[in-house]
Amino acid sequence: MAKEFETVIGLEVHAELKTESKIFCSCSTAFGSEPNTQVCPFCAGFPGALPVLNEKVLELAIRTGIALNCEIPEYCKFDRKNYFYPDLPAAYQISQFDQPICKNGYLEIDVDGKEKRIRINRAHMEEDAGKLVHQGDITTTPFSLVDLNRCGIGLLEIVSEPDMRSAREARAYLEKLRSILLFAGVSDCKMQEGSLRCDANVSVRPTGQKELGTRSEIKNLNSFRALERAIEYEARRHIEAIEDGEELVQETRTWDEEKQLTRSMRSKEEAHDYRYFPDPDLPPLKISREWIEEIRSQMPELPDAARERLVETYGLPHYDAAILTTTPDYLEYFDRVIRLYPDAKLVSNWMMGELNKYLNQTNREISDCLIKAENLAEMLQLIDAGTISGKMAKSVFEEMFNSGKTAPEVVREKGLVQISDEKALSDIIESIINDNPKVVEDYCNGKGKAFGFLVGQVMKATRGQANPAVVNKLLKEKLD
Amino acid sequence: MALSLEEVNHVATLARLALSEDEKTALAEQLSLILAYVERLNELDTGEIEPLIHILPVFNVLRKDETLPGSSQEEILANAPLVEEGQYKVPRII
């Protein structure tokens, strides 16, 4: 009999902090510049150059701690994490070891309507490493190129407890964490640009067993989908190994997006011994309670509060409210539409349906969307005014999305105006009735379906432009 | 406190140092002496003393989040043994 297994997952997330300058020097953090043009003697690891902490990094770390319900101890300090790698010119990374800025927090996730609290062990400040570009195939190339522009950008590493039990829970956690960091204004969280990165610790154990199984750490998870797939793959690999009586080793693995599998990078025996020690170049930090309260009083609305607001103010379903509060831009869009067009559920339907569909298809963010909030409200008003039908609105919307034109412009150009004129529709309905004597007879004999067929014929004859309510009314009058 | 040869090996590996057998033996002795010297601190009773994080009584040395121009690409790469496309060229390491 096959044993039941349980997957245990913990995530380590690195978020690049939204600052103008790096964490310990005044170099710019701008993305996409020429290689090695945002570098100084400090972040290039030249001996003798000294670090000075960026005040904004500390403030953003405290803001994150508040948003993630963490304790923020009175004292914290920086330590050196020692290892050799070409993207780390000083041969140590300035990080926080035993006294992080934030600890013991949590966030709430929602999977299939089931709420669950995921604990956060800690969040600490550290500097990012440079970027290594491998020439050609990573497994065969003899050389790599090093760009230090990213080296020294402030990061927050956020470490969860191993509280997740499925790939979907892990994804929900990462999505929620991303929303919180975006709402708190802490990070851009662009996974493609690497400003949000995630490593997953995965192990399996027979259901009911207390101690954890042998774990793998999976790196290179650059999207929500990669995270989900990699965890599913890894859990399956562990279960198969256990069932085949093979021994698992604790190791670091990398997700191969192309082949959709994980590959071993290094085993525990080669694991680093980082020899942490306090960085003598950086004095410790004392975080006053007054400062924390000041930051707390200036916190923007966070996703959970925004979701509650949507449910209470507009009576939206929880599901809708959760999707509308995924990013601050998305919520702001909703809030702007709703000011001009107060039917919240209808606005939500259009955003979750058509708007999301085209955003996904074109891989666009809502901030680059050509349909502005005002334009969507105006289109919805045209439906209410009877100028266009709900069905016509879908093609109007598509045209608006692609061209950036307003709804009235599209309606005018395409001659899409809905026919509500009773006289005009009356003539069309007469001829449909005359052309379909058999169907009319069916209707008179009580076949409900026949009526729908006749409405369909009218819509067809008017190329979808007839006002369905008027058609229904007239057709009934004529038949009865 | 004597340092074993294995421990010397381990530390040398972490520091990426290639040592001969003679050097390892010599270093094991020297490092043991240094450790024994530092060990003397344990003779003091520090039970009542707050642990020290930093030698100076200074906290919160911070700067504003403002950018300043750094070095030019040429300056930064001036000492690099190999350069390609404005970047340091290094042996591949995975």
Q: Is the pLDDT of residue A161 over 80?
A: yes
DSSP H/E element including A147: strand A143-147
Distance CA B41, CA B43 (A): 5
How far apart are the C-alpha atoms of A410 and A395, rounded to whole Å?
Answer: 9
Enumerate residues 6+ apart whose C-beta is below 8 A from A435: A457
Label residue A1 by pLDDT band (50, 70, 90): very low
Pick the residue of B88, B90, B93, B94 with the most A CBs within 10 A to test the interface with A by mutation.
B88
Q: How far apart are CA A151 and CA A85, in angstroms?
A: 12
pLDDT in tens, A186-202: 999 999 888 999 999 99
Q: CA angle A51-A153-A16, nearest 5°?
A: 140
For chain B, say whether A53 makes contact (Cβ under 8 Å): yes
Q: Is A118 left (phi over 0), alpha (psi -120 to 50) or beta?
A: beta
- Please state, rounded to an integer, the average pLDDT across all residues of chain A: 91
Sketch the domain layout of chain A as residue ranges: 5-291, 301-414, 422-479
pLDDT at A125 over 50: yes
What's the fold here for domain A422-479?
A: Arc Repressor Mutant, subunit A (1.10.10)
Residue ranges in chain B modelled with pLDDT below 70: 1, 94
Q: Which residue has the tokens 């995530």?
A: A11
Span A26-81, pLDDT tens digits? 999 999 899 999 999 999 999 999 999 999 999 999 999 999 999 999 999 999 99
pLDDT tens for each residue of A104-120: 999 999 998 899 999 99
Q: Does A211 touch chain B (CB under 8 A)?
A: no
Please determine, for residue A145, whether its predicted confidence score (pLDDT) is greater than 90: yes
Neighbours of A330 (CB within 10 A): 21
Q: Any idea which residue has 């496309």 for tokens?
A: B85
- Cα–Cα distances in angstroms (integers) from residue A4 to residues A100, A239, A240, B28, in the given order: 38, 9, 12, 52
The b/e string for A273-295 (b: 16+ C-beta within 10 A; e otherwise) is: ebeeebbeebbbbebeeeebeeb
Decide if pLDDT at A432 tops 90: no
CATH 1.10.20.60 correct for B5-41: yes
DSSP code per residue over A81-139 = EE---TT-TTSEEEE-SSS-SEEEEEEEEEETTEEEEEEEEEEEEEE---EEEESS-TT
B17 contacts in A (CB within 8 Å)?
none
Q: Rounded to a whole number, what is the distance in Å from the CA of A123 to chain B's nearest CA? A: 19
Q: Which residue of B has its CA nearest to A36?
A: B73
Q: In this predicted model, which residue has the larger pLDDT, A268 or A350? A: A350
A389, A396 in Cβ contact below 8 A? no
Q: Which of A337, A395, A404, A394 is nearest to A369 (CA)?
A: A404
Instruction: Find the residue in B nearest to A45 (Cα).
Output: B76
Please report the pLDDT score of residue B1 as a whole number: 61
Q: Is A380 touching B (CB cutoff 8 A)? A: no
Residue B50 to residues A100, A277, A345, A447: CA-CA distances in angstroms?
19, 18, 60, 91
Q: Which residues of chain B does A34 touch, with a Cβ-Cβ cutoff of 8 Å?
A: 73, 86
In whole angstroms, what is the distance from residue A197 CA to residue A320 CA?
A: 27
Q: Beta partners for A267?
A: A251
DSSP code, position A255: E
Neighbours of B48 (CB within 10 A): 5
Residues of B in contact with A101 (CB under 8 A): none
CA atoms of A140 and A145, how far apart (whole Å): 14
Q: What is the DSSP letter of A160?
A: E
Chain A residues touching B92 at Cβ < 8 A: 134, 138, 141-144
pLDDT at A341 over 90: yes
How many angstroms separate the CA of residue B48 from the nearest CA in chain A? 20
Which one-letter DSSP state was computed for residue A302?
P
- pLDDT for res A270: 57
Residue range A282-309: mean pLDDT, rounded: 96
Q: Give me the long-range contacts of A321-324 (CB less than 8 A, separation at least 24).
A: A322/A110, A323/A352, A324/A348, A324/A351, A324/A352
A150: which chain B residues are within 8 Å (Cβ-Cβ)?
A: none
Domain residue limits, chain B = 5-41
With CB atoms and an 8 Å threshold, state whether A282 touches B53: no
CB-based contact (8 Å) between A455 and chain B?
Answer: no
Residues 6+ apart with CB under 8 A from A190: A196
- Asked if B61's CB is within 8 angstroms of A144's CB, the reply is no
pLDDT for the residue numbered A449: 80
Residues of B in contact with A21 (CB under 8 A): 65-68
CA distances from residue B7 to A271, B10, B13 in whole angstroms, order as listed: 16, 5, 10
Pair of tokens at residue A236 = 């399956």
Looking at chain B, which residue has its C-alpha nearest residue A34? B86
Closest Cβ–Cβ partner in A86, A147, A280 for B93:
A86
Strand partners, A71: A103
Average confidence (pLDDT) over A182-187: 97
> Where is pLDDT greater, at A250 or A164?
A164
- Chain A: residue whose CA lies nearest to B55: A280
Give the rounded percent of residues in chain A with a pLDDT score beyond 70. 97
| Most confidently predicted of A135-139, A201-205, A208-212, A441-445 | A201-205
Q: How confident is the model at residue A435 (pLDDT cuts 50, 70, 90)?
A: confident
- Per-residue pLDDT tens over the stretch A443-472: 888 777 888 888 888 888 777 778 888 888
